[in-house]
Amino acid sequence: METLVNNISIEKSSSSKIGSVDFDNLPFGSIYTDHMLVCEYVDGDWERPKIKPYANLSLDPASKIFHYGQSIFEGMKAYKDEDGQAWLFRPEDNHARLNISASRMAMPELPKEYFMEGLTALLQLEKDWIPTTEGSSLYIRPFMFASGVGFHASPADRYTFLICLAPSGPYFGGKVKVLIEEKFARAANGGVGYAKAGGNYAAQFYPTKLAVEKGYQQVIWTDDNTHEFIEEAGAMNIFVRINDTLLTAPTNDRILDGITRKSILELAKAEGIQTEVRKVKVSEVVDAAQNGSLKELFGAGTAAVVSPIAGFGYQGKDYELPELENSFAKRLKKRITDIQYNKVEDPFGWRFKV
């Protein structure tokens, strides 16, 4: 039986899996809710989004996603406050970035109303799946891929957009030790590093595998030309604290315009923390580690929010970072998550009620 919500067609699942889920022990991103949103681009236009039971997709082997990699995605979260109300964090920024990625990958941009109305309808339907255990949230994965067929190396004529949901626990646990990359690059000038294209992440796996074999959990990416400047940490933006100044690289062709990154910069300014958005040399970080002025390194992204780095390796030598009681990482993560979970006022207008 189908119903309409915000002009979104909804076909409800005949039964729910929610009763079998242990919400106190959630892995990250591997348990999925009962429904998903699907929207098809056909004959030069987007059809109305539909919400259906979560199920496998059927694709022609000649679908261009398999051959030419036209695939983009976003990462978001929904949160539930103490009163049971559901919230999103800066969702319009995710829509805008999705379309930036789509444009770069020669894919059609998705209308804002389809994204926002479809997402809202899906979350209202799946509201009971939003966990309330501390540190947990409902991870949201909007993504688009080329479903049109053909072996000719050209953009597809058909695309599929979906939103799937996964109740999830914290992304990272424990201390993270990273390796500053000296050979491989995450992205290059003129490339697609600023887009959330699936291939960007696939290309990271091999260098990260090599780093893991050396005893590290992640890679700090450096520029593709000289490997002289640090750019990102794994799949996150990176922040460096030298003395009491917080540094991060400027966005460019190679660096993703992270929503958490932007939020941290605004929060730091509001907190009176001095920030600098500029190129950061590897040698500057190493020198600061040696003379004791390097206080913190941390990654910032939707999944982990803030992920402190305990130490890094470079040119065969390891450097440990001090453990701080009142770190910027803890302070800024608390400020962001308190806004996300509706525990404090939101002077920035970031919170979106579902």
pLDDT value at position 286?
Answer: 98
pLDDT value at position 5?
Answer: 62
Q: Name the average pLDDT for the chain.
A: 95
Q: How confident is the model at residue 16 (pLDDT cuts 50, 70, 90)?
A: very high
Q: 118: part of which helix (H) or strand (E)?
A: helix 112-125
Q: Report the 10 Å Cβ neighbour count for 44.
A: 8
pTM, full prediction:
0.96
pLDDT above 90 as % of the chain: 94
Round to whole Å and give the CA distance between 319 and 317. 7
The residues spanned by each domain of the chain are 2-168, 176-340
pLDDT value at position 111?
Answer: 97
Same fold, 2-168 and 176-340: no
Q: Does position 165 have pLDDT exceeding 90, yes or no?
A: yes
Round to whole Å and give the CA distance between 337 and 351. 11
pLDDT above 70 as % of the chain: 98
Q: Does position 210 have pLDDT exceeding 90, yes or no?
A: yes
Q: Does position 1 have pLDDT exceeding 80, yes or no?
A: no
Closest CA to 314 of 278, 279, 290: 290
Round to whole Å and give the CA distance between 217 and 318. 13
Round to whole Å and give the CA distance between 94 and 86. 18
CATH architecture entry for 176-340: Alpha-Beta Barrel (3.20)
Tell me the per-residue pLDDT of 28-51, one tens digit each, with 9 for 90 and over: 999 999 999 999 999 999 999 999
Report which DSSP code applies to 244: T
Structure-derived torsion over alpha carbons of residues 121, 13, 127, 3, reported in degrees to the nearest 10: 30
Q: Does position 217 have pLDDT exceeding 90, yes or no?
A: yes
Q: Which CATH class is domain 2-168?
A: alpha beta
For residue 46, how many C-alpha atoms fall within 13 Å in the half-sphere facing its CB? 19
Q: Are 317 and 180 in contact (CB under 8 A)?
A: no
Tell me the per-residue pLDDT of 226-266, one tens digit each, with 9 for 90 and over: 999 999 999 999 999 999 999 999 999 999 999 999 999 99
The angle, 0 to 180 degrees and rounded to 10, between the axes of the packed helices 328-340 and 259-270 is 110
Strand partners, 204: none
pLDDT value at position 7?
Answer: 78
Tell me the per-residue pLDDT of 293-347, one tens digit each, with 9 for 90 and over: 999 999 999 988 999 999 999 999 999 999 998 899 999 999 999 999 999 999 9
Average pLDDT estimate for 81-108: 98
Residue 68 three-state SS: helix
Closest CA to 235 of 297, 327, 307: 307
Q: Does position 174 have pLDDT exceeding 80, yes or no?
A: no
Q: Does position 3 have pLDDT exceeding 90, yes or no?
A: no
Q: Does position 172 have pLDDT exceeding 80, yes or no?
A: no
Round to whole Å and give the CA distance between 41 and 106. 13
In order of 186, 207, 223, 234, 318, the CA distances from 286 in angstroms are 21, 21, 16, 19, 10
Average pLDDT estimate for 97-114: 98
Which token pair is 333? 């993560």
Which token pair is 287? 């020198």
pLDDT value at position 56?
Answer: 98
The number of helix segments (H) and strand segments (E) in the chain equals: 7, 21
Strand partners, 35: 53
Average pLDDT estimate for 160-176: 88
